[in-house]
Structures are given as structure tokens and as C-alpha cells.
């Protein structure tokens, strides 16, 4: 009954957190999408940690589905990658995608282990 409310509340705070991290990071690295990389890697770790924990279902909805669903961003990752490809920034796009996927999986595993 409360599931949609938990997801909505978590989503609101996740979206706000992503916006703040992205703005903070853009000021420090305007030539590389470090903000998206940070939220996706941090999100991988935190979602792994949540999955490995004994958190209640309501917490998983609030934090996992709501907050993390809005905090991390697959579509922005893809769009930024396409923009780098259009600008022929091949080394940058390879580093970006490799770091996102390889580090993301590793951090999700590490978060899961920490959560256990």
C-alpha cells in the first residue's frame, strides 16, 4: 500500500542528490562527465550494499528502487558517450565506459560483501 509513496520519496531525494553531485562535479571537471561517473559508481556500491544487507522491504523500496533509481543514470551515461563519439574523443569515451562498467560491477560486488 505504501510502496509507491516510498519509491516516490526516495526518487525525489535521489534526483536532488544527483543534480547536486552533477553540478558540483561539472565545476571541477567541465571536460569530462565526472558527475555521472561518480553517481553511477557510488550507486553501484550502495545498491550492492543494500542487496547484501538484511534491510526491510520498505527500505529496499525507498533506498534501492526510489533513491538509487533516480540517483544513478544509465541514459545520461549513454548520451554523454554518444556526444564524446560525435566529437571523436575516442580515448575519453573508452576510459569513461570502461571505468563505469568494470568499476561499477566491482563496486557492486564489494558493496554486497560489505552488506553481508
Q: What are the tens digits of pLDDT across the range 21-78?
A: 999 999 999 899 999 999 999 999 999 999 999 999 999 999 999 999 999 999 999 9
Please answer whether residues 50 and 110 qualify as being in contact, where contact means their C-beta atoms are separated by less than 8 angstroms.
Answer: no
What is the pLDDT, as a whole number, of residue 20?
97
- Cα separation, 25 vs 44, whole angstroms: 18
Q: At what angle do helices 74-86 and 34-52 cross, to 10 degrees?
A: 150
Query: What's the predicted TM-score (pTM) here?
Result: 0.91
CA-based nearest residue to 60, from 70, 52, 50: 50
What is the pLDDT, as a whole number, of residue 1?
75
- Cα separation, 34 vs 24, whole angstroms: 10
Please answer whether residues 66 and 15 qualify as being in contact, where contact means their C-beta atoms are separated by less than 8 angstroms.
Answer: no
Specify the range with the lowest mean pLDDT, choosing from 7-11, 28-32, 43-47, 97-101.
28-32
Amino acid at each position: 500500500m505504501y510502496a509507491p509513496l516510498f519509491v516516490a520519496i526516495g526518487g525525489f531525494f535521489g534526483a536532488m542528490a544527483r543534480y547536486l553531485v552533477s553540478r558540483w562535479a561539472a565545476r571541477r571537471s567541465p571536460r569530462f562527465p565526472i558527475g555521472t561517473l561518480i553517481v553511477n559508481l557510488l550507486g553501484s556500491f550502495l545498491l550492492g550494499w543494500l542487496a547484501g544487507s538484511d534491510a526491510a522491504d520498505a527500505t529496499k523500496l525507498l533506498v534501492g528502487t526510489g533513491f538509487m533509481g533516480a540517483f544513478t543514470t544509465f541514459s545520461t551515461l549513454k548520451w554523454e558517450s554518444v556526444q564524446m563519439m560525435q566529437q571523436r574523443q575516442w580515448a575519453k569515451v573508452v576510459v569513461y565506459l570502461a571505468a563505469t562498467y568494470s568499476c561499477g560491477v566491482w563496486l557492486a560486488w564489494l558493496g554486497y560483501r560489505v552488506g553481508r
